[in-house]
Chain A
Amino acid sequence: MSERSVNENNKLWEAAERVAEKVVAAKKAESEEERRKQKKRIVKLVLLMTLIALIIVFASIAWFAQNKAVSANTMAVSAAPSPFELETVGYANNDYIDLFNMADPEYEEGEQQGSTSAYRTGTAQQIRWRLDSDDDDSYTEGFRPGASGSLTFKVVPKGVDSVTVNCKFNIRAFVGNYNDTTGDLESIDEVTSATTDNDQKDACNYINGHILFFQNKTTVSGNDIYSGYIGTNGLNVTATGGNTQTVTVYWKWVNTFDQMILKSTDSYNDYPLIADSGGTAQQDRDALIAYIKANYSKIFSGLSSEDQTSISSITYDNLKNSALLGALCDAYNAADQIIGVNLDYFMLELTADVGTSSNN
């Protein structure tokens, strides 16, 4: 009896173990299934999110584009309504257009306004500045130190509201590739940070430092006097109540460094750019001195480390009769020389953004 009961007990235990194993296996299978389902749910959720995002994007683009018929390639960028356009008036001959096409073909002609010589940005983001006889009078034989000019453009609001845009100036530099035999220009390479020739990069820096922009110009005794210096923060232009605002900017590649600072009463003056006093003369002179201090590496070439240190404390009074003035004039001329020897073309680019910039 006792032997039988032991055997039976063992069998019963074995049976119970088998049942338990089956139950555990079944539970495992269930949780596997659950996990798989959860994974599927995550993937579905991600796909759904993507789909929703795509629907939102396409809906927005479709809305932007609905009032313009343009190609699919450009609609996202160019068809969206802008609060303003830029307008330029004048001529653009074939040589000028060819140069642009070689330098930056992204620049377009723009939209002609009726049969006038006025062109607006329209759907284009960037257009070629058209010239008038005043623009290139001072550099018919090439752009060089002492050259000056004026550039006129219009800010045209798209609606009835006032629009304020900040206009900044940038100079891009290019080097031409000429045919060895005919001497014809074949292509133009832009000088960028990737350019390997350091002289060309220096020259690009210097040309940006040497060209100054002003809001006004008057002629006194045959000399041009500038006022309303436009610094690196650019010029804010407001077109009020939906009216077109015409802006003329005067630029000057200063011939000698002292012209930026000195007054006509100073011993070493050489046709100063800025009036001796009155108007914004004091403010402009101070702004230029601040500009020189902050950007001396873009203005001077080959300055000694002592002179570089001295620049940080220059004022009109301590500079006008100093030995440093002579050193700075020489270093300015050296930088001009580097520009002339290393660069062939320059592009004066105005970028207008909605909004304002301070210190202006």
Chain B
Amino acid sequence: MKKLFERIKKMSKRKKVQTVIALALTVALCFAIPAFSWFNNQKKIAEIAKIKAPDELYINAAHKEDVINLDMSSINVSQKIPNTNTPITSQSFVFSVSGEWVNSFTLQIEHTTNNPYTYTFYEGVIYESESAMRAAHSDCDTRNADGSLKYVEYVATNVYDSEEMSKITTWPDDGLTITTGQRIFIWIGDEIKNMKNQTGGYLNKATGQRYSDGSTLTPKSYESGTVKDKYADPVYWQLKNIKGGDTKGQPFYKTYVIKASWTGISDVAEDYNKETDIFYISAFVE
């Protein structure tokens, strides 16, 4: 053994390197055989799926105020443009979607069809005063073809849902200073579009038809799959992939406008006075 060490010591550097490499290769190859066999006795099988993000999204009234302030209980179908006899055939309501940051979310609106309203959904922009809105839009006094204004007024309450707001403590600055009782103005923008520039649509109602198709989603709404009153069978409007927050990781809120429109019912408004619809708005992450 001593002699072997002496011989190794006396070897030239080049020979030492060669010897070490040769030995290392030999050892590695000796290990390789059992390792191959071990791998060979192991098999794997796997499934992959998406994890649903917690729904920390909330439906609020305008300016992310408590949803109790979103009042759709009185749609006045007898309105007329002031000082004229021209009827106004739509009424708009403002709501917002707020919450912790999400990349995208789905907005779904479900309602019954007892009243013959057509609902359309728009993006809204908040202005803290009329003058701010007029500064941004020169056509504030031009009415839509249905006689309605291009904006909605809302009186701020500064009442927030304490549970929701306690979860979200760091709202990004929206640049607005709004005090209780202040009249704010929501400009009605384009129809809501998603990140693929698509607009929403009804899942179980053909365009132009008032009520549910009675088959697509009815079995999910009613266990038996049959419903006597077709107007009580809810219809679902949906748009997926709506852009969430602008800044990753930051809470956000977005303002939307629901416009209920009607045609030719002003004269018989009393016929509908007793009719009620159930209207759900939900926002969730898929």
Residues of A within 8 A of B (CB): 35, 38-39, 42-43, 46-47, 49-50, 53-54, 56-57, 60, 64, 76-78, 80-86, 88, 96, 99-100, 103-104, 107, 121, 125-129, 131, 135-136, 139, 141-144, 151, 153, 172, 178, 181-183, 207, 336-337, 339-341, 343-354
Contact = CB atoms under 8 A, between A and B. Distances in A.
Given A38-B7, A183-B243, A125 B29 contact: no
B22 A348 contact: no
Contacts of A76: 32, 36
Contacts of B285: 142
Interface of B: 7, 10-11, 15, 18-19, 22-23, 25-26, 29-30, 32-33, 36-37, 39-54, 100, 103-104, 194-196, 241, 243, 284-286
A126 B32 CA distance: 20
A143 B51 contact: yes
A80 B36 contact: yes
Contacts, number: 162
B33 A341 contact: no
B18 A43 contact: yes
A339 B51 CA distance: 8
A345 B36 contact: no
B146 to A, nearest CB: 33
B43 A121 contact: yes
A339 B54 CA distance: 9
A178 to B, nearest CB: 5
A340 B48 contact: no
Nearest to A35: B10
A305 to B, nearest CB: 26
A57 B36 CA distance: 11
Given A143-B51, A345-B50, A346-B48, A181 B41 contact: no
B46 A129 contact: yes
B51 A352 contact: no
25 contacts: A39-B7, A39-B15, A43-B15, A43-B18, A43-B19, A46-B23, A54-B29, A77-B36, A80-B36, A88-B45, A99-B48, A121-B43, A125-B43, A128-B45, A141-B284, A141-B286, A144-B51, A151-B47, A183-B243, A343-B51, A345-B51, A347-B47, A349-B45, A352-B43, A353-B41
- Main secondary structure, interface of A, reads mixed
B285 to A, nearest CB: 8
Contacts of A83: 41
A182 B195 contact: yes
A125 to B, nearest CB: 6
A84 B43 contact: yes
B52 A352 contact: no
B10 to A, nearest CB: 7
Contact of A139 (B11, B37, B44, B49): B49
Nearest to B24: A50
A30 B71 CA distance: 112
Contacts of A54: 29
A125 B44 contact: yes
A84 B195 CA distance: 48
A57 B33 CA distance: 7
Nearest to A179: B195
B48 A96 contact: yes
B25 to A, nearest CB: 6
Contacts of A126: 43-46
A142 B237 CA distance: 20
Contact of A82 (B10, B41, B47): B41
A84 to B, nearest CB: 7
A142 B286 contact: yes
B26 A142 contact: no
B199 to A, nearest CB: 16
Contacts of B196: 182-183
Given A46-B19, A53-B29, A86 B43 contact: yes
Contacts of B48: 96, 99-100, 103, 345-348
A340 B33 CA distance: 43
